[in-house]
Structure 1
Amino acid sequence: MRLLRYAPRLLQVLAILALLFLLPWWTLLASPTWPTSVLAAGTAVFVLAFLGLPTLMFLGHGPRQLDAAARAGDTLLGVTWVLFSWSVIGNIARPALLLAGVPNPTRARIVAVAVLVIALALVVYGVIEARRVPRVRTVEVAIPDLGPGLDGLRVAVIADTHFGPIDRKRWSEKVVEVVNGLNPEMACHVGDLADGSVARRRAQVDPLAGVRAELGKFYVVGNHEHFGEAPGWLSRMTELGWEPLVNRHRVVCRGGDRLVVAGTDDPAGAGKMPGHGPDLEAALAGADPEVPVLLLAHQPRQVAEAARLGVALQISGHTHGGQIWPFHYLVSIEQPVLAGLSRHGQRTQLYTSRGTGFWGPPLRVFAPSEITLLILRASDQGHAQPGHDNS
């Protein structure tokens, strides 16, 4: 009976996998009519990959949590997605070769070789881009009613570090070095800290204790902490000197002026523990309505509630900017913004980070990671200044 209950979902997953593998197989092998030996060898590789992907993902992300299997499965998933995406593009471009008078099988072989070369190049580029220390993106944001004493406040933002099966302890240490080099007065981590338990991932997370910010280091959980061990990560980040904001706020002061820094939980936390799940009204309870609010909320779609309650600036992550192009088209279905600064309602601005790390496939294609430095500016008009990258 349990198998029957999960059968529709299993069939859906198998159908998606079949599509992801069949189109590249047809584009690279079947359509070009290669010699029988090439077709047979290539087909064997595709069959092994088709069977291996769900097996590796189950071993890596299922009950056994085998990191080696997770690394292999995640990488295979990323390669498959890139091959599928460029197979679609290659087949769309095929009519141009037909109009140019290129006959088959030459036409199909040109498409196959082009797709393979581009896909392999993008996989190499994507791995390098994902594993590098992120570039710094500096963005000035004008905040209405921000007191002059807070003008120029420097806020360092990291998000979506997703410490997981790949040991990135040294990378974590380098991220801390970059953040401290920005001389932030406040630091924020807006969720999806790690995938897995504290016992398994703490060595990668612990370098974050070294972040320096005199006005405070604030943290909100993302959906992935709730998939794993949210209470453990809240406790561990507290031990590392970060203050978790789960539907609560703090007031920071500089130069005699105040800023409310609030945090709300991710929707994935709803019903899992008492006091969890997003509750922005609880987060702002008791806050002076005359003081502007900076809100940490993992998902950009939470900005609808922020705009309703007059939040000045929400900082989010979650989207990864799409991470592997053209996946951003699917992300855009669920989230109102992929990356950058945007305005919502009469007075609310949203900054969406592309994320500092990566999740799943260790690739970033046309969606570079970032460490963000937000510089808050006092302004009666609230016009945002454009951001710029400092590599």
Structure 2
Amino acid sequence: MPQQVRGVIARSKGAPVEVTTITIPDPGPGEVVVKIQACGVCHTDLTYREGGINDEFPFLLGHEAAGIVEEVGAGVESVTVGDFVILNWRAVCGQCRACKRGRPQYCFNTHNAAQKMTLGDGTELTPALGIGAFADKTLVHEGQCTKVDADADPAVVGLLGCGVMAGLGAAVNTGNVSRGDSVAVIGCGGVGDAAIMGARLAGAGTIIAVDRDPRKLEWARELGATHTVNATDEDTVEAVQALTGGFGADVVIDAVGRPETWRQAFYARDLAGTVVLVGVPTPDMQLEMPLVDFFSRGGALKSSWYGDCLPERDFPMLVDLYQQGRLPLERFVSERIKLDEIEDAFHTMHAGEVLRSVVVL
């Protein structure tokens, strides 16, 4: 029968989030109820609260999560009750034109639960990225659950559900960073630092972190950056070129997502180098550049969606690397908080004081 649990919602644009009672329906065909163990506080959740995604309030926030499968609906085959899973917002369909062309990381028809979770009065909730995991339990499609080793710390590996995977995948999957490459990352928050970690994992020789915050630059160095550039004091393009023999980096990753940072990334790369945009721009942003520069410099200009990941392929592998001590994902967990501390965590995150606050349930 339907369950009543705690959940954190954004009731209207800009209003403080609140903990309230929500209703989780019994799972239908292809659906799964997951008992949440931990969920990271991601900037996307704040963007939902501010109305930056859409206006389908009220939102059930939270999406970087891990937990235990509690119930399964009819026809569910990929997970069973008791499985430890990381939730993801790309549940590939296997049938769309991208999937059929062997590019499931670009699936155009990802699955979410068909049923809606609701407030006590029946008001339907919009779950953040189709997940809604700032809650004791949530309802998702089975394809949004990726089974991993149950011995892993949920507060750590749950972060693969969004920001860490986005950054790490931007380097490894989208940027195709390989051994000996030079890499520059503009913006050293959680996503940017994950890109730095990914570049290090791939064997990059020179890894340049660019930011305006000395604290973030220190975090970046701890996570694998070989050089740092304070963009307040130095010209980003000139500094990256100086650190790469005057040529520019083989791969430049823009983890900010603004016209000025993308332009810096474009000119800070070597001829025929690669630019990867993983920071998310707002709809009003415009880019104006000489077209001849695109032609004369060659190379590749890419956008990275969720680190171009395949959760069922990438999550178990990365969890294994973490447990072997080869991928220090635990460094992203700055603090562990309670469900009723999320509003404070938004302020802490906005001030750049943490890489990730993680709600532990």
TM-score (norm 1): 0.30
Of the two, which has the highest radius of gyration? 1
Higher relative contact order (CA 8 A, sep 6+): 1
TM-score (norm 2): 0.31
Query: More helix per residue: 1 or 2?
Result: 1
